[in-house]
Amino acid sequence: MARSEGFVIIGLGTFGTTVAQELARAGEHVLGIDRHERHVARVAEDLAEAVIADARDEDALREAGVGSYGTVVIGIGEDLEASMVATMNCRLLGVKRIWVKAKTKTHHRILVKLGADRVILPEQEIGRHAAQVLRNPQVRDYVSLGNGFHVVEYVAPEAFDGRRLGELKLDRQPELRALGLMRGSEFISCASPDTVLKAEDKLLLLGRRDDFRRFADFL
């Protein structure tokens, strides 16, 4: 596998370690970097490579081969200066895609100015996610696609058992559409309005927040 297809994870705290291990489990080539030996030792057997290095040192990152990778995720937590310098160094080394974990909104704005392609505020993102799921018990999960669109996993209640998809009147909301449903481990197409639903089916719906609100009111 070419290194350009792999990932570098800088900062092997809880966030960085989780990202690194999940990518490795999925079969990706992952290089983990941290300045603390104990953090590197903790993941050394899980990743393709694990290196002790200070991400503030451009030469150390170059020696580790960071510039030959296509994607870097910087998960440095409390040390905001190290996070920002690491971002600049990765950009100077020619990394094409840089994702960075931010601590605050100000940190977020600075990272964007420094060239980060995506900045993650984990606590805020998890908080928003939890609030959306808590507001509607039938919503099991959702993913934001940008531009106001979301894919929502909606668990069919008992009242849906035996009803046909067409009875949900999704056609009245042109920007809300059923992508399909999961029944256990089976995927079922929702192309036909005659598709019969069962309680506990997981409907995958695409739409905007207002569309889902109107859908909930209709139900």
Helix (H, G, I), strand (E, B) or coil at 157: coil
Residue ending a domain, among 120, 138, 170, is 120
Q: Is residue 133 a contact partner of residue 140, using CB atoms and an 8 Å limit? A: yes
31 forms beta bridges with: 8, 49
> Same domain, yes or no, for 85 and 142?
no
> Same domain, yes or no, for 173 and 149?
yes
> Same domain, yes or no, for 23 and 88?
yes
Give me the CATH number covering residue 214: 3.30.70.1450
CA 88: distance to chain centroid? Answer: 23
**What are the pLDDT tens digits along the chain (219 aa)?**
445 679 999 999 999 999 999 999 999 999 999 999 999 999 999 999 999 999 999 999 999 999 999 999 999 977 899 999 999 999 999 999 999 999 888 888 999 899 899 998 877 766 666 666 556 666 777 677 767 787 888 888 888 899 998 888 777 776 788 888 999 889 998 888 888 999 999 988 888 877 777 776 665
> Same domain, yes or no, for 160 and 195?
yes
> Same domain, yes or no, for 132 and 210?
yes
> Same domain, yes or no, for 13 and 104?
yes
Where in the sequence is the domain holding 107, given as residue range(s)? 3-120
Residue ending a domain, among 60, 85, 120, is 120
